[in-house]
Structure 1
Amino acid sequence: MLIHPWDAPLDETEWRTWLAGHDFGQLAVNGGPGEAPWVQPTHFLYDAGAGPLGEVLLHLARPNPLWRALRDAPRVLLSVVDDYAFSPGPWAAPEGAPPGHGTPTSYYAAVQLHCVAHLVDDPREKARLLNRQVAHFQPEGGTDEVTPDGGPFDRLLPGLRGLRLEVVDVRAKFKYAGRKPEAVREQVAAGLRARAGHHDEAALSHLLRRGATAPE
């Protein structure tokens, strides 16, 4: 992922705060020789306090072909993208130029977690992992605890494998007209407000939040 200086996080807090509000992404694992990478959409739990860069917990079905790829190549990447919006060309036209001279582009936030994968097969460890995920996604409760010693879910445990991803590097990008002059950023902001489409409010929030620090 190309990250220009004007699209880089303002500080580590920016990407951590954004990631804290996201728990669905795509796990990419190297394929075998001559194969394309395996990409698995998945919910995940990011634990920011586990190590310097945190860790990710998730689980997948045992028949998933991704496990074979993981054994051969435990270095993986979890990609999370959101708050994206298309910006029509006229919004970005330079001041005094015809609208048709503006360049269409995409705005988005992205965090890529580079990780070392550790498989979790011990039944008790898997149960703990699953219970942590349920507590995150379903804080209101209502589902019995997962245990390997009885209960409604113990028979399901053998069909799942847990995965702990040790985060070793983070690349983050917030692409929101950071290099554009203030007049152009104002045009883009006005366009997002008027269109009020899917993700436009989130994109506008990033643009306004980062605009004051953007280089001219």
Structure 2
Amino acid sequence: MLVHPWDAPREDTEWQQWLTTHDFGQLAVTGPPGEPPLVQPLHFAYDTERGEAVTHLARPNPLWPALEANSQVLLSVVDDYVHVPGPWQADPDGPPEHGVPTSFYAAVQLRCTAHVVDDPREKAELLNRQLGHFQPEGGSARAAAGEAPYGRLLSGIRGLRLEVTGVRAKFKYAGKRSAEVQDRIAVALAERGGARDAAAREHLLRRRGT
């Protein structure tokens, strides 16, 4: 992923905070020789203090042999994306039709070393960390090895700790454009009101001047 200086995070906390609410991504694992990478969509919980993401998958998942052969993986998260029409980006002193259309998006790629978790007690602890993230208000029983309601289900899954060894993050929101063009795009996003336009507009306004 190409990251221009004007699209780079201002500091690590920018992408770290974004991951706390954007917790669904794709895990890319090296495939068998001659085959493309294996890609698994999944929910995960990112832990800033431990520098890792945790998740789990069903035991029959075809990723396991590939992970055991090569533990180096990539967790990719992309969201808050919108299409920006060319006239929105046109230079103030040029015709609108000369503007270049583009995409706005936020993306974080975590390079990780994958650690498979099979011990029942460790799997239960991993699941409880996920529950704490996705259901902080409670409402579900805690997982415990050998105890209802989840204990008997632990054998059907394997846990994953994804130890983060590298990060590439990008917030592509008109960072290279003039203040006048940024203002025009912000107004246009508000007027269009599409599915992710509000989030994109918030990123644009937040990052002005970086």
Same fold? TM cut 0.5: yes
Identity %: 62
In structure 1, the partner of 2:10 is: 10
Deviation at 1:106?
A: 0.3
In structure 2, the partner of 1:156 is: 153
Query: How big is each residue's C-alpha offset from its partner over 1:91-130, in whole Å with a ceiling of 9 and x where there is no partner?
Result: 0111121111010100001111100000000011001111
Deviation at 1:40?
A: 0.6
In structure 2, the partner of 1:205 is: 202
1:31 partnered with 2:28: no
1:68 partnered with 2:65: yes
3-state DSSP of counterpart to 1:129:
helix
- In 2, Cα distance between the equivalents of 1:186 and 1:2? 25
1:121 partnered with 2:118: yes
Q: Which TM-score applies when normalising by structure 1?
A: 0.94
Structure 1 counterpart of 2:14, one-letter code = E
3-state DSSP of counterpart to 2:152:
coil
Q: Any gaps of 5 or more consecutive residues in structure 2?
A: none
User: Could you tell which deviates more after superposition, 11-20 or 57-66?
Assistant: 11-20
Query: What root-mean-square deviation, in Å, do the aligned CA atoms of Structure 1 and Structure 2 show?
Result: 1.0
Deviation at 1:150?
A: 2.6
- In 1, Cα distance between the equivalents of 2:170 and 2:137? 33
Instruction: Could you list the structure 1 runs, at least 4 aligned residues long, displaced by more than 4 angstroms after superposition.
Output: none
Check whether the contact 2:127–2:143 (CA below 8 A) recurs between aligned residues. yes
Report 1:78-117 matches (<5 A).
Answer: 78-117=75-114
Query: How big is each residue's C-alpha offset from its partner over 1:27-54, in whole Å with a ceiling of 9 and x where there is no partner?
Result: 111111111111111010111101xxx1
3-state DSSP of counterpart to 1:211:
coil
Q: Any gaps of 5 or more consecutive residues in structure 1?
A: none
Structure 2 counterpart of 1:189, one-letter code = A
Check whether the contact 2:90–2:181 (CA below 8 A) recurs between aligned residues. yes
Structure 2 counterpart of 1:204, one-letter code = R
Deviation at 1:159?
A: 0.7
Check whether the contact 2:20–2:45 (CA below 8 A) recurs between aligned residues. no
- In 2, Cα distance between the equivalents of 1:17 and 1:133? 17
Q: Choose from 169, 173, 178 the match for 1:181.
A: 178
1:20 partnered with 2:17: no
Q: Which TM-score applies when normalising by structure 2?
A: 0.97
User: Could you tell which deviates more after superposition, 152-161 or 12-21?
Assistant: 12-21
In structure 2, the partner of 1:171 is: 168
3-state DSSP of counterpart to 1:204:
helix
Q: How many residues align?
A: 210
Structure 2 counterpart of 1:45, one-letter code = A
Query: How big is each residue's C-alpha offset from its partner over 1:52-73, in whole Å with a ceiling of 9 and x where there is no partner?
Result: xx10110000000011110111
- In 2, Cα distance between the equivalents of 1:112 and 1:152? 35
